[in-house]
Structure 1
Amino acid sequence: MIVYLRLLKESFGFAMNALRSNKLRTLLSLLGVTIGIFSIIAVLAAVDSLDRKISDELSSLDKNTIYLMKFSFGPSDIPQWKREQFPNVKYTEYVYLKNTMTHTEQLGYQIFTKRETIKYESNTVSDVNIVPISHEFIDIQGLKFEKGRFYNESEANSGAPVIVLGYEIAKSLFGDSEPLGKKVRLYGQKFIVIGVLKKEGSSIGETNDTAAIIPVNFVRRLYGDNNPNLTNVIIFKPEKGVDMEEYKSEISQKLRNFRGLKAGEIDNFFINVFSGFLDLIDNIIGQMNMVGWIISGFSLLVGGFGIANIMFVSVKERTNLIGIQKSLGAKNRFILLQFLFEAIILSVLGGIIGLIMVWAIAMILSKVLDFEFVLGLGNILLGTGLAAIIGLISGILPAISASKLDPVEAIRTGM
Structure 2
Amino acid sequence: MLVYLRLLKESLSFAINALRNNKLRTLLSLLGVTIGIFSIIAVLAAVDSLDRKISKDLSSLDKNTIYLMKYCFGPSEIPQWKREQFPNVKYDEYISLKNSLTNTDQVAYQFFVNKETIKYDSKTVSDVNIVPASNEIVEIEGLNVDNGRFYTESESNSGTAVIVLGYDIAEGLFGGSEPVGKSIRLYGQRFTVIGVIAKQGAGFFGDSNDTSVYIPTNFLRRMYGDNDAMTPVIVLKPVKGVDMDAYKAQVAQKLRAIRGMKAGEMDNFFINVLSGFTDFIDGILGQMNVVGWVISGFSLLVGGFGIANIMFVSVKERTNLIGIQKSLGAKNRFILFQFLFEAVILSVIGGIIGLLLVWGISLALTQLLDFEFVLSLGNILLGTGISAIIGLISGILPAISAANLDPVEAIRTGM
Q: Same fold (TM over 0.5)?
A: yes
Shift of 1:296: 1.5
Please list every run of 5 or more consecutive structure 2 residues that lacks an aligned counterpart in the other structure.
Answer: none
1:338-377 superposed matches below 5 A: 338-377=338-377
1:230-269 superposed matches below 5 A: 230-269=230-269
Partner of 1:297: 297
Distance 2:390 2:103 in 1: 56
Partner of 2:186: 186
Q: Is 1:38 aligned with 2:38?
A: yes
Distance 2:372 2:248 in 1: 37
Distance 2:315 2:398 in 1: 7
Partner of 2:217: 216
Partner of 1:273: 273
Distance 2:10 2:288 in 1: 41
Partner of 1:308: 308
* Deviation readout 1:156-211 (Å, 9 max, x if unpaired): 00001000111111111111111111111111100001111111111112211111
1:115-194 superposed matches below 5 A: 115-194=115-194
Q: Secondary structure at the match of 1:232?
A: strand
Q: Is 1:288 aligned with 2:285?
A: no
* Deviation readout 1:240-284 (Å, 9 max, x if unpaired): 111111111111111111111111211000111111011011111
Distance 2:120 2:296 in 1: 52
Q: Secondary structure at the match of 2:135?
A: coil
Q: Secondary structure at the match of 1:213?
A: strand
Q: Secondary structure at the match of 1:220?
A: helix
* Deviation readout 1:90-131 (Å, 9 max, x if unpaired): 000000000000111111110101111111111111111110
Match of 1:218, as an amino acid?
F
Distance 2:389 2:224 in 1: 64
Match of 2:212, as an amino acid?
A
Q: Secondary structure at the match of 1:126?
A: strand
* Deviation readout 1:272-317 (Å, 9 max, x if unpaired): 1111011011111111111111221222112111111110110010
Shift of 1:219: 1.2
Partner of 2:202: 202
Shift of 1:329: 2.1
Match of 1:104, as an amino acid?
T
Partner of 2:67: 67
Distance 2:26 2:284 in 1: 38
Distance 2:294 2:148 in 1: 51
Distance 1:202 1:95 in 2: 34
Distance 2:370 2:114 in 1: 27
Match of 2:208, as an amino acid?
T
Q: Secondary structure at the match of 2:352?
A: helix
Match of 1:301, as an amino acid?
L
1:51-62 superposed matches below 5 A: 51-62=51-62
* Deviation readout 1:355-377 (Å, 9 max, x if unpaired): 11111221222222222111111
Q: Which deviates the most, 62-71 or 328-337?
A: 328-337
**TM score, norm. by length of structure 1:** 0.98
Match of 1:333, as an amino acid?
R
Distance 2:77 2:367 in 1: 44
Shift of 1:228: 2.3
Distance 2:146 2:313 in 1: 66
Q: Which deviates the most, 138-147 or 152-161?
A: 138-147
Distance 2:372 2:270 in 1: 35
Q: Which deviates the most, 151-160 or 31-40?
A: 31-40
Partner of 1:88: 88
Partner of 1:387: 387
Distance 2:348 2:31 in 1: 12
Distance 1:273 1:150 in 2: 26
Distance 2:362 2:309 in 1: 32
Q: Which deviates the most, 351-360 or 127-136?
A: 351-360
Distance 2:263 2:12 in 1: 77
Please list every run of 5 or more consecutive structure 1 residues that lacks an aligned counterpart in the other structure.
Answer: none
Distance 1:184 1:291 in 2: 50
* Deviation readout 1:44-99 (Å, 9 max, x if unpaired): 11111111111011111111111111111111111111111111000000000000
Shift of 1:229: 2.0
Distance 2:343 2:327 in 1: 24
Distance 1:26 1:406 in 2: 28
Of all paired residues, the percent bearing the same amino acid is: 75
Partner of 1:326: 326
Match of 1:52, as an amino acid?
R
TM superposition outliers: structure 1 runs of 4+ over 3 Å? none
Q: Which deviates the most, 402-411 or 183-192?
A: 402-411
Give the RMSD, CA atoms, in angstroms: 1.0
Match of 2:221, as an amino acid?
R
Shift of 1:224: 1.4
The number of residue pairs the alignment matches comes to: 414
Q: Secondary structure at the match of 1:106?
A: strand
Partner of 1:99: 99
Distance 2:83 2:371 in 1: 37
